[in-house]
A and B are shown apart, each in its own frame.
Chain A
Amino acid sequence: MVKRWHTTAAIAYIILVVYAVLSLGPFIWALLVSAAPMSYTSHGKHIGIDIMRWPPNINPFVIPPRVFGAPATLHNYVKVFQVVPFARWIINTVIYAGVVTIGNLILDAFAGYAFAKIRFPGRELIFSILLATLMVPGQITIIPVYNLMVKYNLVNTYYGLFLPKLTSVTGLFLMRQFYMSVPNEIEEAAKIDGAGIFRRFIQIASPMAKPAFATLAIYTFLGTWNDFMWPLIITSDKSMFTLTMGLNFFKTSYYTFWQLMMAASILMTVPMIVIFLSFQRQFVETGVTSAIKG
């Protein structure tokens, strides 16, 4: 029995370690490339470097450490801000993701509370229509929405970017589920104490739904930060790009600036990893809740 457990555990370890290497490998390679200079001089000789070579010739024990045989540098991370309006793209992305997240937190919560706790005619019907829109693929709405934006001169503006994203049915669904789990007795008691709907929503139910707010905030922020399709359609002006749009800028028809491209990729990924590591519980918990939902 014990021996059997050992072999199972060994196989499990092998699978997990191999996949961990595969998961991190591409990121590590991107990190190495982002630290490589375009070329360098050694003993008066100009040496080009090969960022694709295997093995990558790393030596972390010298100063500066060496990657691909060349001295590692942070120069690419500085250069990204100089050759393209990278700071502007960061600001645009923060505005886009930030406004969309705040919009969803407020509007989805209001609607979620109404669908969970307030009685009004047509409630179930309206809710099921909203839910049905989840099955609508983006491809069918994107052309008319784009034309709407053209009509109201919202192309290449912040409004054009975030207006269509301010609410989401998934967010509504999540909030409604949480408000439904708030016991009716608490609401009734508050009602007897003379608390109106608004106060019950703000002061009683919403504080209890804190985990739902956290989950919604994280997922919305992450999804919008990483969104590519809508910025692609609604922005054409370089100064309105988000980070995902900007990545294409390091590739010209003649040459791809891999070092800069990788530095930019790392720069836009790190904030998400930080958010993920600090709010891991929410991520994993949603894994649970969404599985139950399914």
Chain B
Amino acid sequence: MKRRLLKEGIVGYAFISPIVITIVIFILWPIFESFYYSFTNYNPLRQQEYRGTFNVQDMLQEYLLVLDMKDLDREKLTKQFNSVDFLKTQLGLHLNQKQIDAVQRYFNSKKLIEDFVNLKLDRTMSVAYFMRAYMIRDSYMFTHYKPAWLGWKNFTNMVHDPYSWISLKNSIVFSLVVTPIQTFLALLLAIAANQKIRGIKFFKTTFFIPSITSSAAISVIFMMLYSKPGVINRLLNYFGMPAIDWLNNVSTALPAIMLMNIWTTAGYFMVVFLAGLQGIPASLIEASELDGAQGWTRLWKIIIPLLKPQIAYVVTLGLIGTLQVFDQIYFLIKAQENYTTAMYIYTNAFSYGRMGYASAIAVAFFAVILLSTLVQRRVVREETYF
């Protein structure tokens, strides 16, 4: 019996190992790494420096101003060769003080010049390989990039960076505007579709289509609709109103995208609500009718309370989705004043190469999201007991 349980246990672990391993590699470990990065000046370009390859002989010829490889004077060349200067100017490495000290102490210039004169270096190698070959010790400093420890500097910078606050504000406003409106709209559509009328299937299908379309395609379609000469402005003109440059105007860009976002998701949430509405027993509605509850009273006192699980689900999904909005911002926003936090993290990390700073913002943002999730759980739970 015991052996069978043991065997079952092993099979269990085997079954879950793929997902556990991928989650550890791609989610859990990265969280710790992000915390670490957030205290450093991590720059991906620096890491790349050690993997860059070059032709050693060409570089040395250039550096030592040697045109002809015949009859070279070793002594003179060794004297002429400055290892730190060569690494910095010729290979373009960014060295910190520790690395400079190590190079000065352990770089084997003599061996390098010897190999150079003996024409052994006419080949390409990576910086890491080169350093391993010519450093007597401590070559590890040049194979694995180690960012400098900054302490809390990234976080103090973040607090003093107006754009980190602006982007956070944009994300929160985006979330707090879009979530209630799309929830309300979805509910309204669901209630309308729940009347005993024909063609519900058509409406359901139609409303669902925006939510299965990629955010990229939706973004470019709306880029066209919202453009200065676009059809929305033509319609406004048609009704005698002035044209607005929706996406290039700092004050209208985000509201325009919010509207687009509501349009994208309301249909999906409507289907969720409709399923909930159809699950309400008809007898309950009839009973309420006998009690004289009609119209708004019935909606508020009977239907909405019964839809609480669906509302909780829609609001939770809505908040999570909108707080992290990125794709649409990437496609449609130009001004940094309109960036959301996700976009600001992306630009810092991948456009400016400031991954340490970007990680600090991501860590802070993670805290904000956790906090909002906890608050929301609390509210939802209390409401259900209420």
The answer to whether A291 and B355 touch across the interface, beta carbons within 8 angstroms, is no
Known contacts A110-B18, A229-B326: does B203 contact A268 (CB below 8 Å)?
no
The answer to whether A24 and B206 touch across the interface, beta carbons within 8 angstroms, is yes
Partner of A225, one of B27, B214, B221, B314: B214
The answer to whether A12 and B195 touch across the interface, beta carbons within 8 angstroms, is yes
The answer to whether B192 and A12 touch across the interface, beta carbons within 8 angstroms, is yes
The answer to whether B8 and A16 touch across the interface, beta carbons within 8 angstroms, is no
The answer to whether B30 and A140 touch across the interface, beta carbons within 8 angstroms, is yes
Known contacts A15-B189, A119-B12: does B349 contact A143 (CB below 8 Å)?
yes
The answer to whether B189 and A19 touch across the interface, beta carbons within 8 angstroms, is yes
Q: Does B170 sit within 8 A of A, measured CB to CB?
A: no
Identify the closest chain B residue to A54 (Cβ): B234
Identify the closest chain A residue to B188 (Cβ): A15
The answer to whether A30 and B216 touch across the interface, beta carbons within 8 angstroms, is no
The answer to whether B23 and A147 touch across the interface, beta carbons within 8 angstroms, is no
Partner of B192, one of A16, A26, A256: A16
Q: Which of A100-141 contact B (CB under 8 A)?
A: 107-108, 110-111, 113-115, 118-121, 123, 126, 129-130, 133, 135-141
Known contacts A12-B192, A139-B365, A261-B224: does B231 contact A52 (CB below 8 Å)?
yes
Partner of A265, one of B220, B309, B324, B366: B220
Q: Does B9 sit within 8 A of A, measured CB to CB?
A: yes
Q: Does B177 sit within 8 A of A, measured CB to CB?
A: no
The answer to whether B19 and A107 touch across the interface, beta carbons within 8 angstroms, is yes
Q: Does B386 sit within 8 A of A, measured CB to CB?
A: no
The answer to whether A290 and B15 touch across the interface, beta carbons within 8 angstroms, is no
B245 to chain A, nearest CB (A): 13
Partner of B19, one of A139, A172, A198, A288: A172
A107 to B20, CA, bound (A): 10
Number of chain A interface residues as a range: 35 or more
Known contacts A30-B224, A133-B28, A164-B26: does B272 contact A291 (CB below 8 Å)?
yes
Q: B80 contacts which chain A residues (CB < 8 A)? A: none
B349 to chain A, nearest CB (A): 5
Q: Does B37 sit within 8 A of A, measured CB to CB?
A: yes
Q: Does B34 sit within 8 A of A, measured CB to CB?
A: yes
Q: Which of A65-102 contact B (CB under 8 A)?
A: none
A269 to chain B, nearest CB (A): 5
The answer to whether A293 and B313 touch across the interface, beta carbons within 8 angstroms, is yes
Stretch at the interface among B64-72, B98-106, B123-131, B356-364: B356-364
Would you call the interface of chain A mostly helix, strand, loop, or mixed? helix
Q: B231 contacts which chain A residues (CB < 8 A)? A: 29, 52-54, 56
B152 to chain A, nearest CB (A): 18
Q: B47 contacts which chain A residues (CB < 8 A)? A: 147, 150
Q: B365 contacts which chain A residues (CB < 8 A)? A: 137, 139-140
Q: A23 contacts which chain B residues (CB < 8 A)? A: 206-207, 209-210, 263, 267
Q: Which of B13-48 contact A (CB under 8 A)?
A: 13, 15-16, 18-20, 22-23, 25-31, 33-34, 37, 44, 47-48
Known contacts A114-B12, A144-B33: does B192 contact A11 (CB below 8 Å)?
yes
Would you call the interface of chain B mostly helix, strand, loop, or mixed? helix
Q: A24 contacts which chain B residues (CB < 8 A)? A: 206, 209
Partner of A283, one of B222, B263, B271: B271
Known contacts A12-B193, A119-B8, A135-B369: does B214 contact A269 (CB below 8 Å)?
yes
Q: A15 contacts which chain B residues (CB < 8 A)? A: 188-189, 192
Q: A114 contacts which chain B residues (CB < 8 A)? A: 11-12, 15-16
Which of A16, A148, A164, A269 has the most CB atoms of chain B within a 10 A radius of its CB? Answer: A16
Q: Does B275 sit within 8 A of A, measured CB to CB?
A: yes
The answer to whether B309 and A20 touch across the interface, beta carbons within 8 angstroms, is no
Known contacts A30-B224, A280-B205, A291-B313: does B22 contact A197 (CB below 8 Å)?
no
The answer to whether A283 and B217 touch across the interface, beta carbons within 8 angstroms, is no
The answer to whether A54 and B238 touch across the interface, beta carbons within 8 angstroms, is yes
The answer to whether A52 and B29 touch across the interface, beta carbons within 8 angstroms, is no
A142 to B345, CA, bound (A): 10
Q: B30 contacts which chain A residues (CB < 8 A)? A: 140-145, 148
The answer to whether A294 and B313 touch across the interface, beta carbons within 8 angstroms, is yes
A129 to B16, CA, bound (A): 13
The answer to whether B359 and A290 touch across the interface, beta carbons within 8 angstroms, is no
The answer to whether B27 and A136 touch across the interface, beta carbons within 8 angstroms, is yes
Q: Does A59 sit within 8 A of B, measured CB to CB?
A: no
Q: Does B225 sit within 8 A of A, measured CB to CB?
A: yes
A280 to B208, CA, bound (A): 10
The answer to whether A140 and B366 touch across the interface, beta carbons within 8 angstroms, is yes
Known contacts A20-B203, A130-B19: does B197 contact A120 (CB below 8 Å)?
no
The answer to whether A139 and B26 touch across the interface, beta carbons within 8 angstroms, is no
Q: List 11 A-B contacts (CB under 8 A).
A: A8-B195, A26-B221, A118-B8, A118-B9, A143-B30, A245-B216, A247-B217, A265-B217, A284-B271, A291-B275, A294-B314
With A169-B23, A262-B221 already in contact, 14 other A-B pairs whose C-beta atoms are closer than 8 Å:
A12-B192, A20-B207, A29-B221, A107-B19, A108-B19, A110-B16, A137-B324, A139-B341, A148-B30, A244-B215, A251-B223, A256-B223, A272-B212, A275-B212
Closest 5 CB pairs of A and B: A294-B313, A226-B214, A120-B12, A114-B15, A144-B30
